[in-house]
Amino acid sequence: MLLPAERERIVHFGKKMATAGLTAGSGGNLSIVDRQKGQVAISPSGIDYFETRPADVVITDLQGSVVDGTRKPSSELFFHLALYAAREDIGAVVHTHSTYATTLACLNWELPPIHYMIGLSGLKVPLAPYATYGTRSLARNITNSIGDNNAVLLANHGLVAVGRTLPSAFDCAEEIEFVARIYCQARMLGKPVVLTEEEMQKVIDKFTRHGQ
Ligand SMILES: [Zn+2]
């Protein structure tokens, strides 16, 4: 079985994604790349996170051909591969349909820096234009919009977070959902105060220096 440790991690963080309330049912997906081997471990399509076993995780090459596994890879394989091609600095991708990030995505809004934890993404969380799920157009919209950020909202769909490792991509998805929730609530009560770029730069420097 190829990439056994990565398979275990995909199963573990899939369950975490469900218990953290970041997704419902089998929505969302996650992957890890091994750049030396040129292989990607990705969650299977349509299997409940609590039913998924390491053997169900699918291994593909960087072009998306299945090299190990009997299941179908996640329907969003295209954008996982496109992100690995576009961003040499990342090793994992997490995609969620978490409630508050998706609320903003359905308004076609970006998430501005109203809380310093957005620094896990960067200066903001940009918005990728809508395209049908599972398509190369959606993959293109995501890679065009994410820039150097570690998170991007998908219009009328959800959130994608990336990181050097699966734990860091997961943390980013979880914290961005928190900031999205605070933003939605703050907008209901008044006009949220946006942090300056200078202040956000200090936070990003601290995150980079001390690790996340
Ligand atoms: Zn999705």
Amino acid at 29: N
Ligand 1 centroid–CA 23 distance in Å is: 9
Q: Which residues are part of the catalytic machinery?
A: 76
Q: What is the DSSP letter of 26?
A: T
DSSP per-residue codes, 68-90: E-SSPB-TTHHHHHHHHHH-TT-
Strand partners, 61: 39
- Separation of 159 CA from ligand 1 center, angstroms? 8
Q: What is the per-residue pLDDT for 211?
A: 60
- Contact call for residues 34 and 22 (beta carbons, < 8 A): no
- Bridge partners (DSSP) of residue 201 are none
Q: Please tell me the predicted confidence (pLDDT) of residue 212.
A: 47
Whether the CB-CB separation of 92 and 173 falls below 8 Å is answered with no
Say how many Å lie between the CA of residue 29 and the centre of ligand 1: 7
Beta-carbon contacts of residue 13 (< 8 Å; ≥ 6 apart): 30, 94, 166, 167, 170
What pLDDT score does 31 carry?
98
Give percent helix, percent strand, percent coil of the chain, each to the nearest 5: 45, 20, 40
The tens place of each residue's pLDDT in the chain, 212 residues long, gives: 999 999 999 999 999 999 999 987 778 999 999 999 999 999 999 999 999 999 999 999 999 999 999 999 999 999 999 999 999 999 999 999 999 999 999 999 999 999 999 999 999 999 999 999 999 999 999 999 999 999 999 999 999 999 999 999 999 999 999 999 999 999 999 999 999 999 999 999 999 887 64
Residue 126 tokens read as 């940009």
**Could you tell me the distance, in angstroms and rounded to a whole number, from the CA of residue 198 to the centre of ligand 1?**
33
Instruction: Give the CA-trace dihedral at 147, 163, 200, 141, to 10 degrees.
Output: 20
Amino acid at 116: Y
Gyration radius of the chain's alpha carbons: 16
